[in-house]
């Protein structure tokens, strides 16, 4: 039943899920999750622009366009927060809407152009893993591997930088470079994931596995492993299901799977789960009655 190509696609989205689970954990702890959301939406104008300028729909070209506008959106958010009186939430909302709006306008222009009808750019909105070619998958494997390896190498530095930036700077860590590197890796994760998951829901793959993992552990190392596994399972299962029934976009199914894992964590995690909270409460009441 599993064709060779599907097998590769499944492995690709699984690896993507693992990478997103890892970088997502760092951005979650940095309280930058919503910046990732804006950056993902901001990939759309880049994709459309890359197509309009070059007339090609090769993935590397579209990915470069996506990376440029995505990184630009992060820069805009930081610029607004630094140089205006606006707070981060307003800046993120503003930048997300403007970039995505421009993206939709450009996409409409693409669709009206003679070449645009068959360009398949619309699939970047909700994602379609099944349309990935061997070449697309090669790119995905390479960049997911880079993301995972760099994250593991900088684990110790990012941990200290996020927990206590002042101390980190005090012992000579290059804080600005480390921050920029993390942002670059998150943009890279987004760009890697948009073909399979789509620009609208890509941020969910960064946020939900990290949020689920936070409920299970109080150690960063375990949190990263759990988050990576959650992302991997969601990517695998979501792609598999959407490949069974044609017509279903991959992104929403992946997100629904991740959300299911979050919901299970919310109810049943031994540390922060609702069930164990209820049991502890009951035990306490029983003891109070006995004494």
Partner 1 sequence: MRALEALVVQNLSVAYDKKRVLENANLIVPKGHLAAIIGPNGAGKSTFLKAVLNQLPNKVGEVEILGKAFSPKSLVVGYVPQRNAVDWDFPTTAFDVVLMGRYGSRGLMKRPTKHDKQLAMQALTSVGMEDYADRSIGQLSGGQQQRVFLARALAQNAEVYFLDEPFAGVDAATEKTIIDILKNLKAQGKSIFVVHHDLQTVKEYFDYTILLNKTILAAGKTEEVFTAEKLQQTYGGNLFMMQAL
Binding site for partner 1 (CB under 8 A): 29, 153-154, 156-157, 159-160, 162-164, 166-167, 169-173, 214, 217-220, 223
Pick between residue 109 and residue 145 the one whose CB is nearest to partner 1: 145
For partner 1, the closer CB: 156 or 280: 156
Question: Distance from CA of residue 263 to its chain's centroid?
Answer: 19
Q: Provide the token pair at 64.
A: 């470069």
**29 or 102, CB closer to partner 1?**
29
Backbone Cα Rg of the chain? 20
- CB 163, min distance to partner 1, A: 5
Residues 172, 178: contact at Cβ < 8 Å? no
Q: Write down the least CB distance from residue 170 to partner 1, Å.
A: 5
13 with 239: CB under 8 angstroms? yes
Nearer to partner 1, 79 or 167 (CB): 167
Closer CB to partner 1, residue 114 or residue 172?
Answer: 172
**Least distance to partner 1, CB of residue 174, Å:** 8
- Least distance between partner 1 and beta carbon 171 (Å): 3
Q: How many Å apart are CA 155 and CA 257, to the nearest integer? A: 27
Q: Choose between 86 and 241: whose C-beta lies nearer to partner 1.
A: 86
Name which of 107, 45, 52, 109 is nearest 76 in CA terms: 45
Rounded to the nearest 10 degrees, how much is the dihedral formed by the CA atoms of 30, 34, 35, 41? 150
**Distance in Å, CB of 207 to partner 1, minimum:** 16
CB of 155 to partner 1, least distance (A): 9
C-alpha span between 195 and 12 (Å, rounded): 11
- In 3D, which of 231, 225, 243, 210 has the Cα closest to residue 8? 243
The H-assigned helical ranges of 198-249 are 202-214, 220-244
CA distance 252 to 236: 13
Minimum separation from the CB atom of position 264 to partner 1 (A): 19
Residues 66 and 189: their CA atoms lie apart, in Å, by: 11
> Which is closer to partner 1, CB of 130 or CB of 154?
154
């Amino acid at each position: 039943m599993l064709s060779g190509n599907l097998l590769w696609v499944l492995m690709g989205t699984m690896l993507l899920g693992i990478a997103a689970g890892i970088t997502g954990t760092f951005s979650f702890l940095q309280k930058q999750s919503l910046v990732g959301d804006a950056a993902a939406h901001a990939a759309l104008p880049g994709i459309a622009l890359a197509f309009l300028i070059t007339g090609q729909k090769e993935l590397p070209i579209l990915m470069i366009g996506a990376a440029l506008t995505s990184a630009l959106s992060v820069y805009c958010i930081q610029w607004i927060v630094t140089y205006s009186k606006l707070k981060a939430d307003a800046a993120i909302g503003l930048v997300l809407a403007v970039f995505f709006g421009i993206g939709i306008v450009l996409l409409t222009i693409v669709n009206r152009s003679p070449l645009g009808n068959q360009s398949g750019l619309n699939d970047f909105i909700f994602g379609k893993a099944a349309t990935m070619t061997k070449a697309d998958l090669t790119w995905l494997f390479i960049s997911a591997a880079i993301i995972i390896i760099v994250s593991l190498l900088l684990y110790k530095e990012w941990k200290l930088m996020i927990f206590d930036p002042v101390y980190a700077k005090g012992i000579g860590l290059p804080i600005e470079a480390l921050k920029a590197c993390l942002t670059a890796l998150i943009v890279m994760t987004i760009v890697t994931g948009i073909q399979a998951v789509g620009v609208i829901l890509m941020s969910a793959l960064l946020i939900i596995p990290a949020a689920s993992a936070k409920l299970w552990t109080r150690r960063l190392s375990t949190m990263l492993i759990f988050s990576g596994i959650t992302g991997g399972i969601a990517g695998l299962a979501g792609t598999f299901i959407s490949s069974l029934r044609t017509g279903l976009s991959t992104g929403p199914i992946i997100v629904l799977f991740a959300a299911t894992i979050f919901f299970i964590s919310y109810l049943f995690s031994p540390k922060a789960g609702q069930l164990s909270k209820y049991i502890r409460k009951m035990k306490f009441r029983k003891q109070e009655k006995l004494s």
